[in-house]
Structure 1
Amino acid sequence: MTKYKFILSGGGTGGHIYPAVAIANELKSRFPDAEFLFVGAKDKMEMQKVPQSGYKIKGLWIAGLQRKLTFQNALFPIKLLDSLWKSRSIIKQFKPNVVIGTGGFASGPLLQMANMMHIPTLIQEQNSFPGITNKLLSKKANKICVAYENLERFFPKEKIILTGNPVRQDLIDIESKRAEALQYFNLDANKKTLLVLGGSLGARRVNQLIEKELNNIVSQEVQVIWQCGKLYFEDYKKYNSDKLITHNSQLITVLAFIEKMDLVYAAADFVISRAGASSVSELCIVGKPVIFIPSPNVSEDHQTKNAKSIVDKKGAILLKENELDENFTTVFSDLIVNQNLQKELSENIKSLALPNATKQIVDEIVSLIKN
């Protein structure tokens, strides 16, 4: 039996790293003796997160272009050449059967070099509006797995396969975990639970909003699990001591990071979230009523586009950051009292889920090896 070798690259944010790890895990379950190597950007979070998931990683000296003139931009051509050269040497040494890119700076030079060396490549694009790296790589890639329809205007049509985004497999059946989840987070079963997700680093504007609205939210018989991000935990952890006097259960739980995503989704009745691609895909599978507050600070405003693709099909509510002060209180209060709206949002977002994404992407990778 042939022993396969795979190089995967994705990083910069959890939205690029976790899909790459999910793909590697599925490949490993099919080919237990396969070899894996990840390639990331030297000082980005993948250098910690990938080894924590049990895989080896090598770092490239690469960063993105800034939008203004900076010293970092002047270094970009040197970094790019250095990363192309290092990618070539990694590929020559490791001899992969396939190279897989899930976005982020490091996947650019790595897949570019793999294409030049005639090694099959597959790109996985999470967003409804692709970043510049994947647009450039798509010309030479063998296959492009996407999570949204109508990407023909960015990618060669004949290479596109609609698979969805890889998500944690433990999210598929969360209903059965509700009792365990309420106990795990020390919640009151008689109250509704709001889950606030700010992404792995946190979202300043979302945190400011929740702090301002906390009394209003709690006064409506709602308890809160607030993932504020590691950058902001010191500012907001003071709210952790608020308990319900009668039940001694936690009224407000502030967390830097959530380890048990399946349990937190099982406990939630409503979700407020950024609209990163992985979060949107997870929330489709979870099927809870969602208010999306997209980050306006990402390239091409792709979070707004991700959210709109759900909102246009009546699967979620969209509030832009500049509308929060004016509209949040009314929108949130309407949602928690309107059971018909809750039901409609839940059913519609769930109908957009693509739960078999990881398996389908790996099927495509396997077909590249076999051919």
Structure 2
Amino acid sequence: MRTGAFLYPWDVDGDPAAPELLAGLGLTQVTLAAAYHSTRALTPRHPVRRIVTAEHAAVLYPPDPGRWAGRALRPYPAGEWAPGDAYGRAAEALAATGLDVHSWVVLAHNSRLGAEHPGTSVVNAHGDRYPWAPCIARPEVRALLVGLAAEAAVRPGAAGTELESCGWYGLAHLHAHDKTAGIPLGEREQLLMSLCFCPSCRQGYADEGADPDELAAAVRAALVPAWNGAGPAGGLGALETPALAWRARTARAFQDAAVAAVRAAAPPGFRVLLHADPDPYRCGADAGTDPAHVLGLADGVVARPPKLAGFAAHARAETVLAANLPIVTGLGGAPGRLARDAGQAREEGATELRLYHAGLASDADLDAVRKELRAVG
């Protein structure tokens, strides 16, 4: 079973032992970050460092000045955590071991963009901005992200790409010193708190036949039971259908444009996968999609079990259904159960595995992965 693992360039760049270690796990490919959001990460085996602080969302290679000349919104180069062409150096070292290298591109998740250009962000029904969540309905945001998809995906030597956050982002977001868990919010509440009311979305709701002011008021009213502990959020009545129709149409148009841009820039045979959820209204890294549509658009998806089963009914013989399995014990993964989890994923329709995340895993975790992959075959 074809197996890949996620990796950051800084896990390899500057560590001569890393490529052979990874190749020795029994992997087929590495999905290497080319554009990534801000993070703080461990590098448990690197000979020089142990903590990498990526201070803002950035491309991990030198962006093409010609592509972005004259544009107010453009990708941010990385700082000292990934200097120069860190992606290229890591990709070359990994390819030398025989591993296939695919790019990993995060799109609609960028806190620095929202801080420096507040008008690009999702705005909830209460008027709160989410600076980490670029609104994909904004024309200038779409232009940035579609251009980023093409440039970051098709790096020299990459055999394919995996596009993360290729759709709506919303309320849910890991944040420093987070204090948002005092009131549990289920999927319904998360969706209502993620509906955007920026000028572009307000116009979109109006185009679908919903008054945006009435819709915002309905969202606020629907959330009242969640805030006072009386029960789950309510519905939006007749306004719900046009609101969700706008969201689904916008996400689909963005996904179409991003994949088309990658295909136009890529050589023949280049593989395009989306990190996806079969619920079309889902927000986040695994963006909501229409399974039938996205599997006709891209070569496949990367999804977390049991969500993978939602795509299996729409898969063709050549469709890639990659199960995203956690292998870092400290992050809740279970590398010692990898063979069993892979078997369950295969029953759900998985054709490949993705292991999250080889660079963050301890030596003991990787030892377990090596053993378990022999059993997977």
TM-score by length of 1: 0.30
TM-score by length of 2: 0.29
Greater length-normalized contact order (CA 8 Å, ≥ 6 residues apart)? 2
